[in-house]
Structure 1
């Protein structure tokens, strides 16, 4: 690379993240931040990086979309037979990271992942556009594909097969929910003196701690 990237930086000029103006419940803070991101960040405000670990303790990360935030946790949907599905089956400890550059905000959420009920997965699958349903059925996610056209041909065959009927949710497709035990909020501030508040779940509730930037 010919370009010098070491000098690329920007100063953050956003509001403070102070204990006296921040709720004690991190889920309430997250909802406020997510709603602000939805209002001000038109491109994928629900995008989050899902980090998992495989059986060799090698980390993996990819971007997925948050589809629900409930009192139980943070939900997304995918192929259970994919690489991330196999990694979750081996080790269900995972991390979700949200980053909203225009707000200079980041949220990191750690916890354990489990599958959502089949009823929830099927209900969400039926709510998806038909093209997305067909793609989920046609794609053997994470497996090698000889030619791109092979996927298109599979989708075309399925379109004909289900032209007059609803598309069933594949057995190996569905939802996961991450039940959080640690949530950290990062707010960019001038001169790299960023605000960081962490919340750790204990038996008697959430414990909040300020961290050095």
Structure 2
């Protein structure tokens, strides 16, 4: 039987016809390019193109990562939302730095974003929570995030009850939802090509100015 190692090595990494990345015409600032790549992923039919891995670190130096959904990309950085009673917010309150990683396998592209994390006003959080699908709102209101769950049947019962309340218009905002912006100070774009290797273009911010540089892959 073929070993897992050999089976993994035999897997293809990317498609043959990948989109070009003309670094010579890349914009002076990185966030418009991030929006361009997000649009390209949406247009290409990439499944969940707005999924991103958020990495945080505790005071003790232990790292954590999880995948969530990006809500927006603006002039400051990348916006996401989450409950406030879980591990990620506890870590961000103590160490307000984070890294985000986008990965679009179908396009052979990856983007890394690093920076300080800013919590947005409560009005922004309320509006975001109310705009979420009922299914997502119900799941985001139950229990205490990351705490032990007594049983799946209990969760399902509470989920269905909460969903019914939301769909019936009986549920107000939870008060445990928050919106954050990763204020980008480093953004790196990585792309694979069919016959010219890999490309890494890094942007670094100093004040209001950005510098660009190519990196060895």
TM-score (norm 2): 0.89
Q: CA deviation at 1:159?
A: 4.9
Aligned match of 2:3: 2
For residues 113-151 of structure 1, the C-alpha deviation after alignment (integer angstroms, 9 at most, x for no partner) is: 121110011011111122222221124211110211111
RMSD: 2.1
Between 135-144 and 7-16, report the one with greater CA deviation: 7-16
Distance 1:161 1:27 in 2: 39
Distance 2:176 2:167 in 1: 22
SS in 1 for 2:175: coil
Q: CA deviation at 1:164?
A: 4.8
Aligned match of 1:68: 72
Q: Note closer, same or farther for the CA distance 1:195–1:162 as it changes in structure 2 (3 Å cut).
A: closer
Q: CA deviation at 1:156?
A: 3.7
Choose the corresponding residue for 2:99, options 95, 100, 108.
Answer: 95
Aligned match of 1:138: 142
| 1:80-159 → structure 2 map (5 Å cutoff) | 80-159=84-163
Residues matched between the structures, number = 213
Q: CA deviation at 1:16?
A: 4.3
Q: CA deviation at 1:13?
A: 5.0
| 1:10-21 → structure 2 map (5 Å cutoff) | 10=13, 14-21=18-25
Structure 2: state its 5+ residue gaps. Answer: none
| Contact 2:19-2:107 within 8 A present in 1 as well | no
